[in-house]
């Protein structure tokens, strides 16, 4: 956590936003969830994971702020969360991945929020752009494997390149903040991260030629097609059949409680022209 917070503050300094009169630094903790090919409810309670991070916020005025944030979390999903009547349950795929995200976001305080107030409050909306590192994994016979190098959709057979383990993201959400003193603020927020990849879960397109994949790497084939683990009579090579839905990009959601500290002396917070509006 200290390393994340230090990174955020250093990056803000490099951006030239160094006037401590308007700067807050803070930490947050909460939970994450995922929406993608292995998700079957709006909120899958079996796949809620911890999320935490640190941020620096520069208050441009009472109504506008800029936030630089670093986030660490994990997301996961499983076909076994589907109802027994859902045919996708027999697909039997699962995954988990850690995510490290860095994002720059703008905030709009709907009612205005003055960092000098001892009891200020406001609803806010936020949005911006970020980047996230991920690396989906799955277990086979008690061993965890990185899925991307295996080419579970035939990437190692030629014809397509392995997907990248980095994606741009668009964070957006809402929240409510409250100052509990002229130095400390707390907030609750909920946001979604719309990504530019369909491979957070390693599932996107169609099944490869499993006979060819087995000849190249039996583990890759076993983690590509897992229906036969629960149905021994299934087609051993569903080449070309749908494995995922490439039309929808993956997303993840974050709900968090934040606490921040105003990097300002009492004197510097007494008055400033920009806080007139």
pLDDT, one tens digit per residue, over 101-148 is 999 999 999 999 887 777 889 999 999 999 999 999 999 999 999 999
Range with the poorest average pLDDT among 2-6, 80-84, 184-188, 268-272: 268-272
Q: How far apart are the first and last CA of the chain?
A: 35
pLDDT at position 184 over 70: yes
Q: Is 102 inside any structural domain?
A: yes
List the structure tokens of 40. 């079957």
Provide the pLDDT confidence category of residue 13 given band limits of 50, 70 and 90: low
Average pLDDT over residues 139-166: 96
Q: Is 231 inside any structural domain?
A: no
Range with the poorest average pLDDT among 22-26, 52-56, 272-276: 272-276
Provide the pLDDT confidence category of residue 5 given band limits of 50, 70 and 90: low
Tell me the pLDDT of the chain averaged across its residues: 90
pLDDT at 271: 47
List the structure tokens of 183. 């130095």
User: How does pLDDT run across 204-245, given as a tens digit for each residue?
Assistant: 999 999 999 999 999 999 999 999 999 999 999 999 999 999
pLDDT at position 7 over 60: no
Element (H, E) at 104: strand 94-109
pLDDT at 154: 96
User: How does pLDDT run across 84-103, given as a tens digit for each residue?
Assistant: 999 999 999 999 999 999 99
Burial of 124 (C-beta count, 10 Å sphere; 0-12/13-18/19+):
buried
Q: Is 277 inside any structural domain?
A: no
Under DSSP, the state recorded for 209 is -
Element (H, E) at 12: helix 2-14
Structural domain that includes position 181: 2-139+162-197+248-265
Average pLDDT over residues 139-159: 96
Average pLDDT over residues 184-203: 98
Of 269 and 203, the one with more pLDDT: 203
What does pTM read for this prediction? 0.89
Number of structural domains in the chain: 1
Average pLDDT over residues 169-174: 99
Q: Is 243 inside any structural domain?
A: no
CATH number for the domain spanning 34: value is 2.40.160.20
Q: Is 129 inside any structural domain?
A: yes
Query: CA 216 from chain center: how many Å?
Result: 33
Q: Is 187 inside any structural domain?
A: yes
pLDDT at position 183 over 50: yes
Q: Is 221 inside any structural domain?
A: no
Q: Is 87 inside any structural domain?
A: yes
């Amino acid at each position: 956590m200290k390393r994340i917070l230090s990174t955020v503050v250093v990056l803000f300094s490099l951006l030239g936003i160094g006037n401590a009169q308007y700067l807050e630094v803070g930490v947050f903790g909460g939970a994450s969830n995922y929406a993608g090919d292995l998700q079957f409810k709006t909120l899958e309670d079996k796949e809620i994971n911890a999320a935490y991070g640190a941020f620096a916020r520069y208050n441009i005025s009472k109504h506008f702020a800029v936030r630089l944030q670093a986030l660490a979390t994990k997301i996961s999903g499983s076909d076994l969360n589907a109802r027994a009547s859902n045919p996708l349950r027999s697909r039997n795929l699962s995954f988990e991945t850690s995510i490290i995200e860095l994002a720059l976001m703008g905030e709009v305080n709907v009612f205005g929020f003055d960092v000098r107030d001892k009891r200020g409050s406001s609803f806010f909306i936020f949005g911006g752009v970020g980047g996230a590192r991920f690396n989906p994994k799955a277990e086979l016979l008690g061993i965890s494997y990185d899925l991307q190098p295996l080419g579970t959709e035939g990437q190692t057979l030629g014809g397509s390149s392995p997907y990248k383990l980095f994606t741009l993201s668009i964070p957006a959400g809402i929240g409510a903040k409250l100052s509990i003193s002229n130095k400390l603020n707390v907030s609750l927020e909920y946001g979604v991260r719309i990504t530019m990849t369909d491979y957070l879960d390693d599932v996107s397109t169609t099944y490869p030629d499993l006979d060819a994949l087995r000849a190249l790497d039996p583990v890759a084939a076993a983690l590509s097609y897992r229906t036969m683990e629960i149905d021994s009579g299934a087609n051993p090579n569903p080449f070309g059949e749908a494995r995922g839905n490439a039309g929808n990009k993956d997303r993840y959601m974050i709900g968090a409680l934040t606490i921040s500290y105003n990097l300002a002396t009492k004197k510097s917070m007494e008055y400033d022209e920009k806080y007139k509006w």
